[in-house]
Amino acid sequence: PKLLLLGPPGAGKGTQSSNLVERFGVEHVTTGDALRSNKGMDISDLGLEYDTPGEYMDAGELVPDAVVNEIVKTALEEADGFVLDGYPRNLDQAEYLDSITDLDVVASLSVSRDELVGRLTGRRVCSDCGTNYHVEFDQPEEEGVCDECGSDLVQRDDDTEETVRERLRVFDENTQPVIDFYDEQGELVEIDGEGTPDEVWANLEAAVEERL
């Protein structure tokens, strides 16, 4: 199946995408991870504000559409079924997506603002395998060490309080209109993202199954 998972920063898109991958055998297509692996790429030929994706990301701003659209196009060409996470983030990207593929399910996770800030500023990620933890909600067995691979846990560069506020502002301005757009088309399934990860997953799994 072709699945799209929308939601603000910290809503649990990455966490729930892993469940979708396991349950439906789809490919995880995430622009955030793809860009983090290419933070230093030279995009100065675009002549825009910054010369690398990393500079946009550390400021909490959107990386230019030309860069992101290309990543998604290539990834979707290679994937049979997928869950798309972190894209589209503005209406132009949504229009581009519509021109290259169709979707079976569009779901969005909704979470209150205070909860989002707490999740993001408390998130820790494995410096090697990328597994997510949280200082309160999802602690590793040994403090600061990844359960999966034993590497150090670090804070993502864009998870500081100041950058988190900016990411949420950018979400309100650019990405909320995308969610409203799918809603107006009657395509959107809204999932309460506030329970435990297992509770959220139970609702999401049922909603996806019902629509396939």
Binding site for Zn ion (CB under 5 A): 126, 128-129, 131, 146, 148-149, 151
Residue 82 binds to ligand AP5 (criterion: CB under 6 A): no
CA distance to 2, 4, 74, per residue, from 102 (Å): 8, 10, 15
Is residue 39 a known part of a binding site?
no
Q: Is 196 in the site for ligand AP5 (CB under 6 A)?
A: yes
- Confirm whether residue 113 is marked as ligand binding: no
Query: Of the two residues 57 and 105, which places its CB atom closer to ligand AP5 in the complex?
Result: 57
User: Is-contact 13 191, C-beta < 8 A?
Assistant: no
What is the distance between the alpha carbons of residues 138 and 25, in angstroms, rounded to a whole number?
25
Nearest approach in angstroms of CB 148 to Zn ion is 4
- The listed partner (ligand AP5, Zn ion, none) that binds 148, CB under 5 to 8 Å by sort, is Zn ion
Least separation, in Å, of the C-beta of 36 and Zn ion?
15
Binding of ligand AP5 by 52 (CB under 6 A): no
Counting Cβ atoms within 10 Å, is residue 184 exposed (0-12), middle (13-18) or buried (19+)?
A: exposed
Between 197-211 and 13-24, two packed helices, what is the crossing angle to 10 degrees?
Answer: 50
Q: Closest Cα to residue 121, out of 153, 144, 155?
A: 155
Cβ-Cβ contacts under 8 Å for 88 (sequence gap 6 or more):
94, 96, 97, 178
Backbone angles phi, psi at 102, to 5 degrees: -115, 170
- Map tokens 């909704």 to a residue: 110
Number of residues near ligand AP5 (by CB under 6 A):
34
Compute the radius of gyration of the chain from its Cα atoms.
Answer: 17
Is 200 among the residues that bind ligand AP5 (CB under 6 A)? yes
Nearest to 134 by CA among 151, 149, 116: 116
Residue 54 touches which member of Zn ion, ligand AP5, none, C-beta under 5-8 Å by kind: none
Among 7, 24, 188, 208, binds ligand AP5 (CB under 6 A): 7
Residue 204 sits in the site that holds ligand AP5 (CB under 6 A): no
Residue from 3, 10, 26, 83 binding ligand AP5 (CB under 6 A): 10
- Closer residue to ligand AP5 in complex, CB, 7/188: 7
Binding site for ligand AP5 (CB under 6 A): 7, 9-15, 31-32, 35, 56-57, 60-63, 68, 86-87, 89, 93, 119-120, 123, 132, 134, 137-138, 158, 167, 196-197, 200
